[in-house]
Structure 1
Amino acid sequence: MPDRVLTTKPLTTAGMVIGIGMGGFVDGILFHQILQLHNMLSARISTDTLLGAKTNMVWDGLFHTLVWIATVAGIVMLWKAVKRADVLLSGQALFGSTLLGFGLFNFVEGIIDHHILNLHHVYERIGSSMWDYVFLASGVALILTGWLMIRYSRSAPIGCL
């Protein structure tokens, strides 16, 4: 009987999708709602009027809908991955891929929404600032940390996972 080849790919793909969704939730809940530093369109549509605030609230809701869908998709992918006999179930690979997905969210959302489309900035009251670059740097740090965790989990002895 040949040795089974185990893979973490379905697990890490699911973790990345979950991480993208969770990164969106942290951004939306922490920055949009709790700290109220910005909203989805706050660089384009001021929140100083009732109409502007309502418009931004709708777009924040659409944003939350998309990250909810990403999170659900990631959970479905995770469910399918853990049922496969050829998937190496590694908590380190799952956590690392979730961090990687979170970092991808921060980096891509930061590049597109903060810099290219100029929809909002991390701290909207001061506009484009070093905080937009700190947000990008956090994305890069999370991507690298997650990638290293995934890489180490693939080379670690089975008993260490």
Structure 2
Amino acid sequence: MAEQLHRGPLISAGLLIGAGLGGFVDGIVLHQILQWHNMLSAKMPPDNLVAAKVNMYWDGMFHAAVWVMTAIGLTVLWRVGHRRDVPWSGRTFFGALLLGWGLFNVIEGIIDHNLLGLHHVYEYTDNKLPWDLAFLALGVLQLVAGWAFVRAGRSDTAVRGEYSRGNTQ
């Protein structure tokens, strides 16, 4: 009788890691390299030293939170790697990473950009809406692509130990 396969744990690991890495890309690229916004730049523009330090602190708190999320995801992935009932599927895992990153973009975009108005994707323009909508659209595209990869991974059935069958030790 075939062993029942459980894809959920691999998807959970990918979601957490994807959301964490998406947060790192946002923080490193948009906050630090391009300097398009900071965590609180709409509420407290970093136009003086105190405001810049407050923004830097909250950017650091944001990075700490996505680091914890990534670390939890890696812990889940480590545990998944020891389970024989979880198919080891690159398509499923990659799809889950995209889903996590897309969820990060959509949730962060809706909450921080729209509901709370903490910052916008590109803070230093009069027309912020196109930038915020493009960020949300990217998140939706990531969700669609991630879902497609996860669905494609349903046909992957390799579990731990199948790769080494036929090897004589």
- TM normalised by structure 1 equals 0.94
Per the TM alignment, residue 157 of structure 1 is displaced from its structure 2 partner at its CA by 6.8
Q: Secondary structure at the match of 1:5?
A: coil
Measured in 1, the distance between the counterparts of 2:34 and 2:142 equals 22
Q: 1:157 to 1:70 in 2, by over 3 A?
A: closer
- Map 1:22-37 onto structure 2 (within 5 A): 22-37=21-36
- Bigger Rg, which one: 2
> Are the counterparts in 1 of residues 89 and 156 from structure 2 also a CA contact under 8 Å?
no
Unpaired runs of at least 5, structure 2: 159-169
Report matched runs for 1:147-158 at 5 Å. 147-155=147-155
Query: 1:157 & 1:97 partners in 2: Cα distance?
Result: 17
- Aligned CA RMSD, in angstroms, stands at 1.1
Aligned twin of 1:144: 144
Q: C-alpha separation between the residues in 2 aligned to 1:57 and 1:35? A: 15
SS of the residue aligned with 1:13? helix
Uncovered stretches (5+) of structure 1, i.e. residues with no partner: none
Q: Distance in 2 between matches of 1:54 and 1:132?
A: 25
Q: Which residue of 2 aligns with 1:4?
A: 3
Partner of 1:131: helix, strand, or coil?
helix
- Residues 4-153 of structure 1 mapped to structure 2, 5 A cutoff: 4-126=3-125, 128-153=128-153
SS of equivalent residue, structure 2 residue 36: coil
**Across the two proteins, how many residue pairs are aligned to each other?**
157
Residues 88, 156 of structure 2: 8 Å contact kept: no
CA distance in 1, matches of 2:129, 2:106: 16
In the TM superposition, what whole-angstrom CA distance separates every residue of 1:26-65 from its partner, at most 9, and x where no partner exists?
0000000000000000000011100010000000000000
TM-score, length basis structure 2: 0.90
CA separation in 1, counterparts of 2:93 and 2:157?
A: 16
Q: Decide which structure has greater helix share.
A: 1
